[in-house]
Structure 1
Amino acid sequence: MISRRRAVASLLAAGALSALTVTAALAQAAFDQAAFAQAAFDLGPEQAGRIRAERDENAVRAIPQGFKFVASGTFTVAISPSGPPLATYATDAKTVVGADADFAQLIADSLGLKLDLVPVAWADWPLGLASGKYDAVISNVGVTEQRKEKFDFSTYRQGLHGFYVRSDSAIGSIKEPKDAAGLRIIVGAGTNQERILLEWSKQNVAGGLKPLELQYYDDQPTQLVALASGRADVIVQPHAQLVFIAARDRNIRRAGTLSAGWPNKSDVAIATRKGSGLVDALTLATNTLIANGKYGKALARWALEDEALPRSETNPPGLPKF
């Protein structure tokens, strides 16, 4: 798998392959990588290794008296299956699996409820939650000051972006703007990552260092080919996505991480309706799961230990309005 992908990248860089041949080669590589991903991560619908939790009486007592769940005895959670390792469809093409699905199960267990995961498009969750279709949203939702006007939040994971380079790259650690001076960095246009990197570039120039050279591509396969072929030095995306790609392709490695709220932090949280009263119970349940180790084990299933929080917070400061 790896040799094929590198060969495709080198030939593409040299202009030796036609567009049709490249498409076919990349399709075969994607098939091989999918098979590897299934071996590295459990994408089966059974989820026999999913971590389960006991009922948390303190969290249950924190649920307001008279609170009505969408369905009696059930924790109804919206989730967007946008890709592994956070949330994706299993091999049966209908069951949602991933780190966010595992965490939703832990919270449901803690509240003594069954779990009903409702797949939704990312753009649809705010209206669905506000209108009462779901009890909560657990889908990599970052805390922002604007969202806090309509929703309550219980944090459960760090919001991180990742700097990844080729496995054989001479680039060491990237922790601050000067570490990225002069590097060719792949980033998505209009993303939070781009906003941060543009600020890093300004700081470098003001300090007499080289600016960052940002590169934009239409899709992820093209981005990865550009990195593998040496046309770019670094790729920056949400950390979890790159963890999965690194495990799948085995030809890139992490050079650093960056808070999604840089220079501050912006964590990922369970979203609930503003003032519904459920947020305190969810924060309590999360902190119990952190303390008893279930939380850490669930993250480890998806190689996301580095995104663990030391404790959950209710409505912490979030990404400011821009």
Structure 2
Amino acid sequence: MPYTSKLLGLTIGGLLSLSGFFGAFAHAQEVDLSPEQKSRVRAEKVDSAIKLIPAGYKFVTPGKLTVASVPGRLPFAAYATDNKTPVGSEPDFAQLIADSLGLQLELVPIAWADWPLGLVSGRFDAAIHNITVTEERKEKFDFSTYRNDLLGFYVPLNSKVAKVEKPEDVAGLKVIVSSGTNQEQILLRWIEANRAKGLPASEVQYYDDEAVLDVALQSGRADAYLGPNATSAFKAAKEQKTKFVGGFSGGWPQTAEIAVATKKGSGLADAITVALNEQIKGGSYGKVLARWNLAAEAVKEARTNPPGLPKK
């Protein structure tokens, strides 16, 4: 079976050099969407937000909010069955913000790694695609938060594992995780902490194929999967084969938030933050989260440039 595992107490350095399965997750997938998901939640203008747009700010295209988006995987963003209509939580949030600012929405498809240069060069006004606020990024960009960055543990529906929220909860479990990711580093730290306490060994598994991963989980070869909550929650809701048993911040032990990124000093961040807060109050924000099964990642209030994850 194409997986690699290491037991607690063995050398873990070799784990970091293994190829993970996350690349398989990054491709667009064929998913049946509801009629609501194929459309967009719309919003009215927010005068208080519009007034905060700097008088001298020049939009990439007058009258439009040009936003970088990364079509590839739901619930974040993908193309509908016509292969041209962007759907997903991030296009939905972009639409809410554009509507609030009294602008038309223009989505620019890019590779995720290209958003920083695109903002700096003025190719688009904002980037909206699962971007975590970090102190290093704040040196070049402004941020308006709209989701909590969560990691989630998922188990089969018939699993006896009821809760995984702290290091002790993974003792004795066989956990699937993607190699080279932040969640892997957190899991390995948890395992080391358990070893120091004399708790049962945990087994870490890595898969290169999502289908094989699913089989391992459903067959009992593995007990749980740890990964980004957003993608796992969407998959769980659609397939009804797994369930959420616990989650924590993607920056554990620090709190991490997902935000709209804009060019540093452009002046758009405050306007976007006010727009988001009005949509939180009005309910449109909650509708977007609910339709993509992301309610667990809701923020009570959007913030401009909050503390970010520390520099590495």
Question: 1:108 — aligned with what?
Answer: 98
Cα distance in 2 for partners of 1:273, 1:193 equals 29
Pick the aligned partner of 1:229 from 194, 219, 225: 219
1:39–1:90 Cα change, 3 Å: closer
Structure 1 counterpart of 2:204, one-letter code: L
Q: 1:292-303 to 2 correspondence within 5 Å? A: 292-303=282-293
Q: Between 284-293 and 105-114, report the one with greater CA deviation.
A: 284-293
- Establish whether residue 167 from structure 1 lines up as the match of residue 157 from structure 2: yes
Partner of 1:157: 147
2:13 aligns with none
SS of residue matched to 1:38: coil
| Aligned residue runs from structure 1 range 172-191, under 5 A | 172-191=162-181
Q: Tell me which residue corresponds to 1:21.
A: none
Alignment partner, residue 60 of structure 1: 50
Which shifted more, 209-218 or 85-94? 209-218
> Do structure 1's residue 261 and structure 2's residue 251 form an aligned pair?
yes
Residues 41 and 302 in structure 1, CA contact (< 8 A), matched pair in contact too: no
The Cα of 1:283 is off from its aligned counterpart by: 0.8
Which residue of the other structure, out of 29, 32, 38, is the alignment partner of 2:32?
38
Q: Which amino acid aligns with 1:94?
A: K
**Residues 1:134 and 1:211: Cα distance change in structure 2 (over 3 Å):** farther
Instruction: Return the match for 2:113 from 123, 142, 157.
Output: 123
Summarize the Cα distance change of 1:309–1:276 in structure 2 as closer, same or farther, 3 Å threshold: same
- Cα distance in 1 for residues equivalent to 2:35 and 2:237: 9
Larger CA deviation: 72-81 vs 245-254: 245-254
Structure 1 residue identity aligned to 2:43: A
Q: Which amino acid aligns with 1:316?
A: P
Say whether the 8 Å CA contact 1:107–1:285 is kept in structure 2. yes
Secondary structure of 1:141's aligned partner: coil
CA offset digits 1:244-277 (Å, max 9, x no partner): 2112321111111121111111010000011111
Q: Relative to total residues, which structure has the larger helix share, 1 or 2?
A: 1
Distance of 2:123 and 2:231 partners within structure 1:
28
Deviation at 1:237, TM superposition (A): 1.3
SS in 1 for 2:128: strand
For 1:195, the equivalent position in structure 2 comes to: 185
Query: SS where residue 106 of structure 2 aligns?
Result: strand
1:92 aligns with 2:82: yes
CA–CA distance in 1 between the matches of 2:119 and 2:33?
35
Opposite residue 137 of structure 1, the aligned amino acid is: A
User: Which position in structure 2 is the counterpart of 1:18?
Assistant: none
Match of 1:22 in 2: none
Unaligned 5+ segments in structure 1 are: 1-32
The answer as to 2:303 corresponding to 1:313 is yes
Q: For residue 271 of structure 2, what is the aligned residue in structure 1?
A: 281
Cα deviation 1:130-151 (Å, max 9, x = unaligned): 1110000010111111211111
Matches of 2:228 and 2:187 in 1, distance apart? 13
Amino acid in the other structure paired with 1:305:
A
- The answer to whether the 8 A contact 2:237-2:293 is kept is no
8 A Cα contact 1:96 1:119, kept in partner? no
Q: What is the rounded CA distance, in whole Å, between the counterparts of 2:35 and 2:231 in structure 1?
A: 13
Q: Percent identity?
A: 55
Give the CA deviation at 1:208. 2.1
Question: In 2, Cα distance between the equivalents of 1:219 and 1:274?
Answer: 39
Match of 2:71 among 76, 81, 94: 81
Rounded to whole Å, the distance in 1 between the matches of 2:108 and 2:285 is: 22
- Contact 1:43–1:91 under 8 Å retained in 2: no
The letter of the residue matching 1:229 is S
Residue 40 of structure 1: how far off its partner (Å):
5.0
1:220 aligned residue: 210
Q: Which moved more, 1:210-219 or 1:284-293?
A: 210-219
Structure 1 counterpart SS, 2:32:
helix
SS at match of 1:162: strand
How far apart, CA to CA, are the structure 2 residues paired with 1:150 and 1:127? 10
What's the CA shift string for 1:65-104, capped at 9, x where partnerless? 1111100000000011131111111111111101111110
CA contact (8 A) 1:166 1:228 kept: yes
TM-score if structure 2 supplies the norm length? 0.88
* d(CA) in 2 for partners of 1:211, 1:80: 39
Give the distance between the partners of 1:273 and 1:220, measured in 2 at CA. 36
- Structure 2 unaligned spans of 5+: 1-28
Q: Which residue pairs with 1:206 in the alignment?
A: 196
